[in-house]
Structure 1
Amino acid sequence: MIKFNNTAVMNFENAMRGARNPLNSWARSDSSYDENGNFVFGLNDLDLAKRLCQAGNDHRKFIRQIFISVDITAPIYWWKEYDTYKVGTVANSTSTMHKIHSKPFELADFSTDHMTDEALDTMKVMVESLEEIRLKYMETKDKALWYSLIQLLPESYHQMRTCTMSYENAIAMYNARHNHKLEEWHTFCDWVCELPYFMELFPFIKDGKQAE
């Protein structure tokens, strides 16, 4: 299970101004904003942006200045893979260490969507055990019980992080993960493809080609 909330994409205008710096072609810029304040590519700017993206990494530097902010809720096992992408990304997470005991454990706190029936039964027992330990900790404040929660916590436990990245990070993740065995990565790649103008800038990923 993975969820995306509060997605915001920023800085198209400044990124495109920079894209025109090498040839001093600012006068050809024709983008604008709609009545809701959303950036709208003009034909000239979109044509330039698409040509730069298709020319490869060295030419599409402007997409490193198109920024994404999003709240992602995902299991710890997915976050361990996401943490590979440290360059150019930032994330502030909800605190497991400080808040693990602050609410009752529920099955909905964990990703169980691909479990067998037997595994799900085991998970239900685990959640009940965690809740029993949590309640004892709340009564006694025994640090050994707190450690027990931390060390028993399954990797399927959900954590929410507010993440920032660029379109360059997003296309790199897409290229690396769109065929991954984890369904969460497929959902992530679907979300990436729905970002403003992403498919216009990288139309060739529809054919399974990588955006080098």
Structure 2
Amino acid sequence: MITFERTSVMNMENAMRGARNPLNSWARGDSYVNDKGEFIFGENDLQLAKRLCQAGNDHRKFIRQIFITVDITAPIYWWKEYDTYKVGTVANSTSTMHKIHSKPFERADFSMDHMVPEAETQMDQMIDCLEQIRLKYMETKDKALWYSMIQLLPESYHQMRTCTMSYENAIAMYRARHGHKLQEWHTFCNWVCELPYFQELFPEAVEV
């Protein structure tokens, strides 16, 4: 399970102005921001942006200046793969170390959507075990109990991070992960495809 909330795309106007710097072609710029504060590509700018994106990394530098922020909630096993993409991305996460004991453990805290019934039964037992340890820790503040929660915690446990990345990061992740075994990556790639003008700039990016 993975969710994307509070997605925001920023700096398209400035990025596109910068894309016209090499040829001093600012007069041909025809994009604008509408009364809702949304960036709208003009035909001239969109055609230029498409050509630059298809010309390769050296030519599409402007997309590195288009920024995305989003709150992603995903299981730890997915975050371990996301953490491969350290260059140009930033994330602030909720704290497992400081807040693991702050609320009861429940099914909604874990990804169980692809488990066979036998695994679900084992997971329910694990959740109950973690909750019993948590309750004892709340009573005693015994650090050994806190360690027990940390070391027992399954990789299916959900963590929320506020992430920042660029369109360059997004297309790199899409290309690397759109055929991945994990359904969470397919959901990520579909979210990427829904970003403003993403499919126009990268026609190969289709929902998977």
So what's the TM-score if we normalise by structure 2? 0.99
Q: Report the alpha carbon displacement of residue 206 of structure 1 after superposing the two structures with TM.
A: 3.9
Q: Report the alpha carbon displacement of residue 34 of structure 1 after superposing the two structures with TM.
A: 1.2
Which residue identity lines up with residue 198 of structure 1 in the other structure?
F
Q: Give distance in 1, aligned partners of 2:46 and 2:126.
A: 53
Cα RMSD between the aligned structures? 1.1
Q: 2:7: which partner in 1?
A: 7
Q: Give distance in 2, aligned partners of 1:205 and 1:183.
A: 17
Q: Report the alpha carbon displacement of residue 205 of structure 1 after superposing the two structures with TM.
A: 3.1
Q: Give distance in 1, aligned partners of 2:113 and 2:205.
A: 28
Secondary structure of 1:203's counterpart equals coil
Which residue identity lines up with residue 110 of structure 1 in the other structure?
F
Residue 30 of structure 2 is aligned to residue 39 of structure 1: no
Residue 157 of structure 2 is aligned to residue 144 of structure 1: no
Q: 1:75: which partner in 2?
A: 75
Secondary structure of 1:204's counterpart equals coil
Say whether the 8 Å CA contact 2:180–2:186 is kept in structure 1: yes
Q: Report the alpha carbon displacement of residue 35 of structure 1 after superposing the two structures with TM.
A: 1.4
Q: 1:84: which partner in 2?
A: 84
Say whether the 8 Å CA contact 2:193–2:206 is kept in structure 1: no
Q: Which runs of 5+ in 2 are unaligned?
A: none
So what's the TM-score if we normalise by structure 1? 0.97
Q: Report the alpha carbon displacement of residue 100 of structure 1 after superposing the two structures with TM.
A: 0.0
Q: 1:16: which partner in 2?
A: 16
Q: 1:132: which partner in 2?
A: 132
Say whether the 8 Å CA contact 2:9–2:67 is kept in structure 1: yes
Q: Report the alpha carbon displacement of residue 171 of structure 1 after superposing the two structures with TM.
A: 0.1
Q: 1:59: which partner in 2?
A: 59
Give 1:105-116 correspondences, 5 Å limit: 105-116=105-116
* Structure 1 moving runs of 4+ over 4 Å: none
Secondary structure of 2:204's counterpart equals helix
Q: Give distance in 2, aligned partners of 1:204 and 1:190.
A: 12
Q: Give distance in 2, aligned partners of 1:199 and 1:149.
A: 43
Say whether the 8 Å CA contact 2:193–2:207 is kept in structure 1: no
| Percent identity between the two aligned chains | 81
Q: Could you list the per-position Cα deviations for residues 29-71 of structure 1 after superposition, in whole angstroms to 9, with x for gaps in the alignment?
A: 0000111010000010001000000111110000000000000
Q: Report the alpha carbon displacement of residue 182 of structure 1 after superposing the two structures with TM.
A: 0.2
Q: Give distance in 1, aligned partners of 2:30 and 2:18.
A: 14
Q: 2:28: which partner in 1?
A: 28
Q: Report the alpha carbon displacement of residue 207 of structure 1 after superposing the two structures with TM.
A: 10
Q: Give distance in 2, aligned partners of 1:106 and 1:180.
A: 28
Which residue identity lines up with residue 136 of structure 2 in the other structure?
K
